[in-house]
Homo-oligomer: A and B are copies of this chain.
């Protein structure tokens, strides 16, 4: 892992890094050292590792719970090079959306193309993060991801035993049912009740398919992008329950 930059603001240290050609960001408490729980945050489609949705979760996780929090750019986003096949599929989907046509096979194809690189990348980055003193090899690991971050998260959590708790959601892909059934760790599953792109029926089926003994569904009215702010606080508490909190942190 190469550290590319380091800045500190409001008690949070932000380090941009690269693991091979995978660009990422790591947030930790300023002055914090020694092992602590780690939360991986998967960003949404068209976003990147430092998008608002990522940072708005990362900062409270660091400040309230003392965690290390990491995000990486998905293929074709942020500081990654252009990805011609992803670019082609996104353009095709944009065209169909503009013409009010169904997405068709382009949507699962896009998910599959992103996942084929991103899921192994996450595992490589997790290896590297666990070699850092500020994370440690044996601490608990959580994953947070909605929308594309949920699509990728269900695949990742299903195959990565180091992840022991996950907030997932804003996803209704029927092809994920089998992976969801392989998940057995506690999950908080987020649904937007009036989400036309990821309709509630499909989302509820995925929740139902989860193999976890503890799985809690949080649904709220409104469209895909209208997840209420209080769900951030809820995720802080979900992770605190399952990953613990660092004693000297702000606490709740």
Judge whether A8 is part of the interface by a CB distance below 8 angstroms.
no
With A233-B237, A234-B234, A237-B233 in contact, is A216–B218 under 8 Å at CB?
A: yes
Interface size class of A (residues with CB under 8 A): 20 to 34
Q: Are B193 and A208 in touch, CB under 8 angstroms?
A: yes
A219 interfacial by beta-carbon distance below 8 Å: yes
B241 and A230 form a contact (CB under 8 A): yes
A217 contacts partner chain B, Cβ-Cβ < 8 Å: yes
In the complex, which of the residues A193, A208, A219, A228 has the most CB atoms of chain B within 10 Å of its own CB atom?
Answer: A219
Do the beta carbons of A217 and B218 come within 8 Å of each other? yes
CA distance A146 to B206 in the complex (A): 26
Chain B residues, CB < 8 A from A208:
193
Q: DSSP majority for the A interface?
A: mixed
A218–B218 touching, CB < 8 Å: yes
Q: Mark A192-229, 1 if CB is under 8 A from B, else 0.
A: 01000000000010011000011111111100000010
Residue among A213, A215, A216, A234 with most chain B CB within 10 A: A216
Residue from B204, B215, B220 within 8 A of A216 (CB atoms):
B220
Asked if A252 CB lies within 8 Å of chain B CBs, one says yes
**CB of A185 to closest CB in B, whole Å:** 14
A120 smallest CB distance to B (angstroms): 31
Which residues of chain B are near A204, meaning CB under 8 Å? Answer: 204
Q: Which of A191, A221, A230 has the most CB of B within 10 A?
A: A221
Query: How far is the CB of A136 from the nearest CB of chain B, in Å?
Result: 27
Known: A233-B237, A234-B234, A252-B252. A221 touches B213 (CB 8 A): yes
Q: State in angstroms the CA–CA spacing of A216 and B208 once bound together.
A: 18
* Across-interface contacts of A217 in B (CB, < 8 A): 191, 193, 217-220
B residues in contact with A215, CB < 8 Å? 220-221
Indicate if the CB atoms of A219 and B237 lie closer than 8 Å.
Answer: no
**Chain B nearest Cβ from A193, distance in angstroms:** 7
B219–A216 CB distance below 8 A: yes
A216 touches B241 (CB 8 A): no
Q: Which residues of B contact A216 (CB under 8 A)?
A: 218-220, 228, 230
Apart from A191-B217, A216-B228, A234-B237, what are 5 other A-B pairs with CB-CB below 8 Å? Answer: A214-B220, A214-B228, A215-B220, A216-B220, A217-B220
* A-B residue pairs in contact (CB < 8 Å), sample of 29: A191-B217, A193-B208, A193-B217, A204-B204, A207-B219, A213-B221, A214-B220, A214-B221, A214-B228, A215-B220, A215-B221, A216-B218, A216-B219, A216-B220, A216-B228, A216-B230, A217-B217, A217-B218, A217-B219, A217-B220, A218-B218, A219-B219, A230-B237, A230-B241, A233-B237, A234-B234, A234-B237, A237-B237, A252-B252
